[in-house]
């Protein structure tokens, strides 16, 4: 019988990769704590209705990409394709917005979309999701962009660009939408089949269609900035000014729209020049109407999601170095070494040192090979001579320097 493999688009994170994952997650937590965010861990499954109501029925995610199933009680449930919907649901359900201040929340974890897998695109992938509720002002837009940029820059990622647009509000967006539809209707035959459908259901999405013919057609499309109402213009200009004030490079891209229906005003993306076709590392924006639409209070909100797989791909390209191995490998050269070595190894570990060991004695050559394979910095050799003298040999595998240390004094290691 052939051995089973993982589901297509679902990937194992192997032990040799896990250190880097932890580094990225720890950096995220560190930066978020500096910006005064708290963690919320919603479940990875929600009622299907939640995603239909928030993401919007006429989006790729809801139309084609959700993992939806009927549970044994006959309810329709879905593996979350993104985190915002669950975060907002939890916020309302637990009244997390009460307290008179902005509520700043994040979550880290897997998302699920039935997309065509390729480099940087999986069916189970991981996101850092960050949200600010109850702050309508432009400084929270700028702050969340600064936070995202700090997280990526502190991981050491170069070659990043921040791209922004404003999608207007319920006052000015319909005007733009009508103009865009009128413009696109004249070119309908030249659009790809998906965009011909989008024209009816979600015309803004035509602007960021990847097909070359669609891209050529939308080049001359009316730009959103002509339609912003004074309040939207003022808000967006204040966001740009706050970023400029901090010396943060950014570009306006009037073709930047987001896949989800609930965005209003500021939208943004951070892209990397080193990622190929899937260049977006993170994307987000303001969604002032969503809480109310879900039956909650009328809270303004802004958030983003960053894709961890893409960040890891970049860090791997950058570092290439294998993760550091243990501090020590304990080489047992005689069966009598087992019990004194057992005590020494545990004592070293309680001192915070990372120690690898095989609980069987072997020849020096074979143990040195194993120490090398484990990537250990130093090897502790414990054979008959060492047991007789009470002094073990410790060799630095890089410099080849060797010292003798007392077997029963772990604190000297």
> Of 30-89, which residues contact ligand AMP (CB under 6 A)?
82
**Judged by CB under 6 A, does residue 312 bind ligand AMP?**
no
Pairing, β 251-252 against β 328-332: unpaired
Report the residue number, 288 or 309, with the smaller CB distance to ligand AMP.
309
Single residue of 27, 235, 310, 378 touching ligand AMP by CB under 6 A:
310
Give residue for tokens 């960021």: 208
| Count of residues that bind ligand AMP according to CB under 6 A | 17
Beta bridge partners of 380: 330, 394
What is the distance between the alpha carbons of residues 412 and 407, in angstroms, rounded to a whole number?
A: 9
> Of 90-129, which residues contact ligand AMP (CB under 6 A)?
113, 115, 120-122, 125, 127
For the bound state, the minimum distance from the C-beta of residue 159 to ligand AMP, rounded and expressed in Å, comes to: 15
**Judged by CB under 6 A, does residue 151 bind ligand AMP?**
no
Report the residue number, 20 or 122, with the smaller CB distance to ligand AMP.
122
What is the distance between the alpha carbons of residues 293 and 88, in angstroms, rounded to a whole number?
A: 10
Report the residue number, 107 or 380, with the smaller CB distance to ligand AMP.
107
What is the distance between the alpha carbons of residues 149 and 31, in angstroms, rounded to a whole number?
A: 10
Give kind and range of the element (H or E) at residue 133.
strand 124-133
Report the residue number, 78 or 357, with the smaller CB distance to ligand AMP.
78
> Of 270-309, which residues contact ligand AMP (CB under 6 A)?
280-283, 305, 307, 309
Report the residue number, 45 or 353, with the smaller CB distance to ligand AMP.
45
Phi then psi for residue 405, to 5 deg, are -130, 150
Beta bridge partners of 405: 392
For the bound state, the minimum distance from the C-beta of residue 283 to ligand AMP, rounded and expressed in Å, comes to: 4
Report the residue number, 47 or 121, with the smaller CB distance to ligand AMP.
121
**Judged by CB under 6 A, does residue 259 bind ligand AMP?**
yes
Q: Which residue is nearest to ligand AMP (CB)?
A: 307
**Judged by CB under 6 A, does residue 135 bind ligand AMP?**
no
For the bound state, the minimum distance from the C-beta of residue 64 to ligand AMP, rounded and expressed in Å, comes to: 12
Long-range contacts of 20-23 (CB under 8 A, 24+ apart): 20/312, 20/315, 20/316, 20/319, 20/323, 21/308, 21/312, 23/155, 23/315
Q: Give the CA dihedral 167, 171, 175, 180, nearest 10 degrees.
A: 20
For the bound state, the minimum distance from the C-beta of residue 114 to ligand AMP, rounded and expressed in Å, comes to: 9
Q: In what order do the strands lie in the sheet with 103-112?
A: 38-39, 103-112, 124-133, 301-307, 280-286, 264-272, 160-166, 251-252
Report the residue number, 260 or 356, with the smaller CB distance to ligand AMP.
260
| 3 state DSSP class of 24 | helix
Positions that interact with ligand AMP (CB under 6 A) = 82, 113, 115, 120-122, 125, 127, 259, 280-283, 305, 307, 309-310
């Amino acid at each position: 019988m052939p051995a089973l493999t993982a589901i297509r688009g679902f990937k194992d994170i192997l032990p040799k990769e896990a250190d880097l994952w932890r580094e990225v997650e720890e950096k995220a937590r560190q930066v978020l704590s500096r910006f005064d965010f708290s963690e919320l861990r919603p479940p990875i499954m929600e009622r299907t209705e939640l995603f239909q109501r928030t993401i919007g029925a006429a989006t790729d995610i809801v139309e084609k990409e959700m993992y939806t199933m009927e549970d044994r009680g006959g309810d329709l449930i879905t593996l979350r394709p993104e985190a915002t919907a669950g975060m907002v649901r939890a916020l309302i359900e637990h009244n997390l917005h009460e307290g008179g201040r902005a509520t700043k929340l994040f979550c880290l974890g897997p998302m699920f979309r039935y997309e065509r897998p390729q480099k940087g695109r999986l069916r189970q992938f991981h996101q850092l999701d960050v949200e600010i509720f109850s702050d309508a002002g432009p400084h929270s837009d700028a702050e969340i962009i600064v936070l995202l940029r700090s997280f990526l820059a502190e991981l050491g990622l170069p070659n990043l660009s921040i791209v922004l647009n404003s999608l207007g509000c319920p006052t000015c967006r319909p005007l733009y939408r009508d103009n865009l539809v009128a413009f696109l209707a004249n070119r309908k035959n030249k659009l790809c089949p998906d965009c011909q459908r989008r024209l009816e259901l979600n015309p803004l999405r035509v602007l960021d269609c990847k097909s070359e013919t669609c891209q050529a057609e939308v080049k001359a499309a009316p730009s959103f900035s002509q339609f912003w109402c004074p309040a939207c213009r003022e808000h967006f200009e204040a966001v740009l000014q706050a970023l400029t004030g901090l010396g943060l490079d950014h570009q306006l891209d009037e073709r930047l729209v987001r896949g989800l229906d609930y965005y209003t005003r500021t939208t943004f993306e951070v892209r990397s020049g080193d990622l190929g076709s899937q260049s977006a590392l993170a994307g987000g924006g303001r969604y002032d109407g969503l809480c109310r639409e879900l039956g909650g209070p009328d809270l303004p909100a802004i958030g983003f999601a960053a894709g961890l797989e893409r960040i890891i791909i970049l860090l791997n390209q950058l570092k290439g170095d294998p993760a550091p191995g243990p501090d020590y490998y304990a080489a047992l050269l005689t069966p009598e070494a087992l019990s004194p070595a057992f005590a020494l190894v545990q004592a070293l570990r309680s001192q915070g040192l990372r120690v690898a060991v095989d609980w069987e004695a072997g020849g020096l050559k074979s143990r040195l090979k194993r120490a090398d394979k484990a990537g250990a910095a130093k090897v502790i050799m414990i054979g008959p001579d060492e047991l007789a003298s009470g002094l073990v040999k410790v060799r630095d595998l890089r410099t080849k320097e060797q010292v003798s240390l007392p077997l029963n004094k772990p604190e000297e290691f």
